[in-house]
Chains A and B, each alone.
Chain A
Amino acid sequence: MSVLLIAEHNNKEVKPFTFNAITAASQIDQDLHVLVIGNKADEVSKSISQVPNVKKVIHIDNEIYENFLPENFTPVIIKQAENYSHIVCSANTFGKNLMPRVAALLDTSQVSDIIKVISTDTFLRPIYAGNAFATVKSTDQKKCVTIRPTSFDPAATSGGSAEIVKVEPSEATSLTKFIKREEVKSDRPELGTARVVISGGRGMQSGDNFKLITAIADKLNAAIGASRAAVDAGYITNDHQVGQTGKVVVPDLYIAVGISGAIQHLAGMKESKVIVAINKDGEAPIFSVADYGLEADLFEALPQFLEELNKLNTIQK
Chain B
Amino acid sequence: MKILVAVKRVIDYNVQVRVKEDGTGVVTENVKMSTNPPDDNAVEEAVKIKESGKATEIVAVTVGDDKAQETVRKALAVGCDKGIHVKVDGIIEPLAVSKILQKIVDKEKPDLIFMGKQAIDDDCNQTGQMLAALLNWPQATFASKIEVKDKSLEVTREVDEGLETIEVNIPAIVTCDLRLNEPRYASLPNIMKAKKKPIEQINASDLGVDTKQRIEQIKVEEPPKRKAGIKVANVEELVQKLKNEAKVI
- The answer to whether A and B interact is yes
Residue ID in chain A nearest B10 by CB atoms: A128
Interface residues in B127-183 by Cβ distance below 8 A to A read 127-134, 136-142, 144, 154, 157-169, 172, 177-179
With a cutoff of 8 Å between Cβ atoms, the chain A residues found around residue B157 in the complex are: 93
With a cutoff of 8 Å between Cβ atoms, the chain A residues found around residue B221 in the complex are: 132-133, 135
**Is there an interface contact between B161 and A181, defined as CB atoms closer than 8 Å?**
yes
**Contact A177 to B167, CB < 8 A, known contacts A101-B130, A292-B242:** yes
**Could you tell me the distance between the alpha carbons of A249 and B236 in the complex, rounded to whole angstroms?**
26
Interface residues in A177-194 by Cβ distance below 8 A to B read 177-184, 192
With a cutoff of 8 Å between Cβ atoms, the chain A residues found around residue B196 in the complex are: none
With a cutoff of 8 Å between Cβ atoms, the chain B residues found around residue A110 in the complex are: 94-95, 124, 126, 130
Q: Bits for A67-106, please: 1 = Cβ < 8 Å to B, else 0.
A: 0011100100000000000000000111011111111110
**Is there an interface contact between A178 and B166, defined as CB atoms closer than 8 Å?**
yes
**Is there an interface contact between B231 and A128, defined as CB atoms closer than 8 Å?**
no
**B58 vs chain A, min Cβ distance (A):** 23
**Is there an interface contact between A287 and B231, defined as CB atoms closer than 8 Å?**
yes
Interface size of B as a range: 35 or more
**Is there an interface contact between A180 and B242, defined as CB atoms closer than 8 Å?**
no
Interface size of A as a range: 35 or more
With a cutoff of 8 Å between Cβ atoms, the chain A residues found around residue B219 in the complex are: 134-135
With a cutoff of 8 Å between Cβ atoms, the chain B residues found around residue A175 in the complex are: 136-138, 168-169, 172
**Is there an interface contact between A108 and B95, defined as CB atoms closer than 8 Å?**
yes
**Is there an interface contact between B242 and A109, defined as CB atoms closer than 8 Å?**
no
**Is there an interface contact between A132 and B220, defined as CB atoms closer than 8 Å?**
yes
Task: Tell me which of A174, A247, A312 has the highest count of chain B C-beta atoms within 10 A of its own C-beta.
Answer: A312
**Contact A100 to B166, CB < 8 A, known contacts A175-B138, A293-B231, A308-B236:** no
With a cutoff of 8 Å between Cβ atoms, the chain A residues found around residue B218 in the complex are: 122, 135-137
Partner of A238, one of B95, B179, B241: B179
With a cutoff of 8 Å between Cβ atoms, the chain B residues found around residue A196 in the complex are: 248-249
**Could you tell me the distance between the alpha carbons of A287 and B231 in the complex, rounded to whole angstroms?**
8
With a cutoff of 8 Å between Cβ atoms, the chain B residues found around residue A296 in the complex are: 234-235
Does A301 interact with chain B (Cβ within 8 Å)? yes
**Could you tell me the distance between the alpha carbons of A222 and B215 in the complex, rounded to whole angstroms?**
39
Residue ID in chain A nearest B142 by CB atoms: A93
Partner of B216, one of A93, A137, A291: A137
Task: Tell me which of B142, B157, B164, B217 has the highest count of chain A C-beta atoms within 10 A of its own C-beta.
Answer: B164
**Could you tell me the distance between the alpha carbons of A218 and B106 in the complex, rounded to whole angstroms?**
56
Interface residues in B5-25 by Cβ distance below 8 A to A read 11, 13-14, 16-17, 19
Does A220 interact with chain B (Cβ within 8 Å)? yes
Does B93 interact with chain A (Cβ within 8 Å)? yes
**Is there an interface contact between B220 and A133, defined as CB atoms closer than 8 Å?**
yes
Dominant secondary structure at the B interface: mixed
**B145 vs chain A, min Cβ distance (A):** 11
**A63 vs chain B, min Cβ distance (A):** 16
**Is there an interface contact between A104 and B129, defined as CB atoms closer than 8 Å?**
yes
**Could you tell me the distance between the alpha carbons of A122 and B164 in the complex, rounded to whole angstroms?**
34
**Is there an interface contact between B139 and A97, defined as CB atoms closer than 8 Å?**
yes
**Is there an interface contact between B11 and A231, defined as CB atoms closer than 8 Å?**
no
Does B207 interact with chain A (Cβ within 8 Å)? no
**Contact A109 to B215, CB < 8 A, known contacts A181-B162, A305-B235, A312-B249:** yes
**Is there an interface contact between A136 and B215, defined as CB atoms closer than 8 Å?**
yes
**Is there an interface contact between A109 and B167, defined as CB atoms closer than 8 Å?**
no
**Could you tell me the distance between the alpha carbons of A93 and B125 in the complex, rounded to whole angstroms?**
10
Selected interface stretch from A156-164, A204-212, A272-280: A272-280
**Is there an interface contact between A96 and B220, defined as CB atoms closer than 8 Å?**
no
With a cutoff of 8 Å between Cβ atoms, the chain B residues found around residue A108 in the complex are: 95, 214
**Is there an interface contact between A109 and B26, defined as CB atoms closer than 8 Å?**
no
**Contact A220 to B214, CB < 8 A, known contacts A70-B129, A183-B162:** no
Q: A109-B215, A274-B242 are in contact. List 11 more A-B contacts (CB 8 A).
A: A94-B159, A101-B130, A112-B125, A122-B218, A131-B16, A133-B220, A138-B214, A228-B178, A253-B242, A312-B243, A312-B249
Taking beta carbons and an 8 Å cutoff, which residues of B are in contact with A? Answer: 11, 13-14, 16-17, 19, 26, 38, 93-96, 98, 117-118, 120-134, 136-142, 144, 154, 157-169, 172, 177-179, 213-223, 226, 229-232, 234-236, 238-239, 241-243, 246, 248-249
A-B contact pairs, 8 of them (CB 8 A): A93-B158, A94-B159, A181-B165, A182-B162, A244-B120, A274-B242, A304-B234, A312-B243
Taking beta carbons and an 8 Å cutoff, which residues of A are in contact with B? Answer: 69-71, 74, 92-94, 96-105, 107-113, 122, 126-140, 173-184, 192, 196, 220, 228, 231-232, 237-239, 244-245, 247, 252-253, 263-264, 270, 273-276, 282, 287, 289-296, 301, 304-305, 308-309, 312, 315-316
